[in-house]
Chain A
């Protein structure tokens, strides 16, 4: 399996942007962040001392539907916990995250949006970093499908997900917290435990337990997703600050 690829700041106009491509699920997401900006007509938000995170998920080949609305809420809630909206310049302002699905099959009505969720989350995280929005920590996310025979498949395609018994999207913060746990389908606690362990290995690279096939990270050269995010950022910083780093 081939690992994901990502680019930081591919766009010129917005304050921050990223593109994230996941070959396993086939999704290619372009993301942008504008922050801090004035949100017209929404100045008296519920939390006047904090920033408001707004998310838009724009499907690639279809009009906006309920599926986008569903993932949008999940992303918004998760990013809202990470953005430090009380830092200077941010209270009462908006952090506008726009995500466009520019590659991959569109999710048909009734199909699960969980397969797309990790790509959307990674793309928005990278765009937030590119826009230098203050964050308390970073995260990594993955989606796993459990087949009817009990096998766990990481980053399933839309077709695989359709045939699966259950789907699980999980995200872990860079400090190890479980940030997201969205499941769909029928499963028991044991299955979830196995899924959790496998997801933790894929995201953070911790060898999980004694179970042989679980501890084997299947992700490309075995690089955990957290490390991939870090490398993408480091590469870009090195390029942007080549004049400074080379000088020292």
Chain B
């Protein structure tokens, strides 16, 4: 199946008619995000993103591996996103649906292809060993707008993650445990995020951060990937009804505003987590020793 149950005619009509009066089902404005909460777990790179009722858990992990033959100076960075029946009963375990392919592709392009993570800094020894950074995205509750939520989670995770320190000694790679040497933050070049818009009423109504029902009732979606400096790194409009070119221009401004707003929320969460870690620093360290 791998498909959400279709909306009834009444629901479709109502969502559209309400939007014509600038009313959304949860009482939000057209350009307003749902409440966004970014929180971090005990481990480095463990992020929980709650965007309204959409909830994702992102885990970043690292291991030492051999670089690809054609890129001896580069590390490896992969984003793994798999939709399971946990996110929505409509998703089948072990079967890839269209949504999974689509979201994976967009997140990959916004975050990985825009070089948000400097992969060259992951190189340890040319052609022999490098870091492989893996971002696992677990969608645990789905109520629309996976793309934006996944980008928020992966970017927050990359900024929060610390990899073990590694050095080259006499041609040998030595990796230090987290308790031996301070772990190292990843080299983030810029902080791109995706902002997804959905259009209704022949492109006359454009909304931000659609819920599942709004997504199902919409005509088309537009994704704009951008960083806080306003550099656009991704624009797409894959399917659905035509969208006026001016929408891209006007909505880019909205997207920039939102990217700044979201990055602000991530920064705040990171600082709060850092403060917490410094306070309980001693406890943390002793626990880390016990674990080993």
* A touching B, CB within 8 angstroms: yes
Task: Give A56 to B87 CA distance when docked, in angstroms.
Answer: 13
- Is B163 in the interface zone, CB < 8 Å from A? no
- Is B252 in the interface zone, CB < 8 Å from A? no
Counting from the closest, the 9 A-B pairs by CB-CB distance are A61-B61, A32-B86, A34-B89, A56-B93, A98-B86, A98-B85, A96-B85, A98-B84, A102-B57
Residues on A facing B (Cβ under 8 Å): 11-15, 17, 26, 28, 30-32, 34, 37-38, 40, 54, 56, 58, 60-63, 96, 98, 100, 102-103, 105-106, 157, 159
- Is B1 in the interface zone, CB < 8 Å from A? yes
| Given contacts A100-B140, A102-B138, A58 and B291 within 8 Å (CB-CB) | no
Q: By the criterion CB–CB under 8 Å, are B292 and A103 in contact?
A: no
Contact-size category for B: 20 to 34
Task: Count how many pairs of residues, one from A and one from B, have CB atoms less than 8 Å apart in the complex.
Answer: 84
Residues in A with CB closer than 8 Å to B80 are 63
| Given contacts A12-B53, A56-B93, A32 and B85 within 8 Å (CB-CB) | yes
Residues on B facing A (Cβ under 8 Å): 1, 41-43, 46, 53, 55, 57, 59-61, 80, 82, 84-89, 92-94, 134, 136, 138, 140-143, 291-292
Q: By the criterion CB–CB under 8 Å, are B140 and A30 in contact?
A: yes
Task: Give A98 to B87 CA distance when docked, in angstroms.
Answer: 10
Nearest A residue to B135, CB-CB: A61
Q: By the criterion CB–CB under 8 Å, are B86 and A100 in contact?
A: yes
| Given contacts A26-B291, A103-B41, A103-B42, A13 and B92 within 8 Å (CB-CB) | no
Q: By the criterion CB–CB under 8 Å, are A12 and B141 in contact?
A: yes
Residues in B with CB closer than 8 Å to A61 are 59-61, 134, 136
CB distance from B234 to the nearest CB of A (A): 26
List 17 additional A-B contacts (Cβ < 8 Å) besides A61-B60, A98-B86: A11-B140, A14-B86, A17-B86, A26-B291, A32-B86, A37-B89, A40-B1, A58-B84, A60-B59, A60-B61, A62-B61, A96-B93, A102-B41, A103-B42, A103-B43, A106-B61, A159-B292
